[in-house]
Amino acid sequence: MSLIETALDLLSNAFLLIGLFFVFLGMLGLVRLPDVYNRLHTTTKIGTLGAFGVMLSLLLKVGFSPIGVKAITVGLFLLLTAPIAAHMISRAAHRHGVGLCEESVIDEYGKVYTRDRKEQE
C-alpha cells in the first residue's frame, strides 16, 4: 500500500468519525433540548455536517467510481436542502403560534411579525 492510499484511508476514517460524532450530537439534542427551535437547530447539524462528512468519507474511500460520485451527490444535495427545510419549518412554526421556552430572552421575529400585521390592517 502506497503512501497516498494510506493517507486517503486515514482521512476517510477521520471524516467518518466526524460525521458519526455529529449524528450522535444531533440525537442527543433532539432528546434533551427544551424547545422546537433549539431542537431544530441541533437536528440541522445531522443534515449538513453529519451526512456530508459520511458521504465525503465514502468518496475518499472508493475514489471516483459510481458509488463515490453518487455519494458526493447525495451529500451536496443534503448540504443544500437541509438549511432551506429548517428555515421553512421554523418560520411556519413561529407563525403557527408555537411559543419559545421559558428561558428565552429575546424574540425579535415575533415583534417584527406583529408590526407587519398591524401595518397590513
Partner 1 sequence: MISMFTLAIIIMVLAIIPCIYRIIKGPTIPDRVIALDAMTTVIVVMLGVYSFDQGSVFFMDVALVLSIIAFVGTVTIAKYLDEGVVL
The residue ranges that bind partner 1 (CB under 8 A) are: 13, 16, 19-20, 23-24, 26-28, 30-31, 36, 39-40, 43, 46-47, 50-51, 54-55, 58, 61-62, 66-67, 70-71, 73-74, 77-78, 81-82, 84-85, 88-93, 95-96, 98
**CB nearer to partner 1: pick between 31 and 106:** 31
54/44 Cα distance (integer angstroms) = 15
Dihedral angle of Cα 23, 29, 35, 38, to the nearest 10 degrees: -60
Closest to 56 in 3D by CA, of 78, 82, 41: 78
Name the H helices within 33-107. 36-45, 51-62, 66-96
CA distance 63 to 25: 28
Beta carbon of residue 17, minimum distance to partner 1 (angstroms, whole number): 8
Q: Which is nearer to partner 1, 97 or 105 (CB)?
A: 97
Nearest distance from C-beta of residue 104 to partner 1, angstroms: 16
Q: Which residues contact 83 (CB under 8 A, 6 or more apart)?
A: 44, 47, 48
Q: Quick one: 67 or 111, whose CB is closer to partner 1?
A: 67
Minimum CB separation of residue 7 from partner 1 in Å reads 16
Smallest distance from partner 1 to CB 64, Å: 13
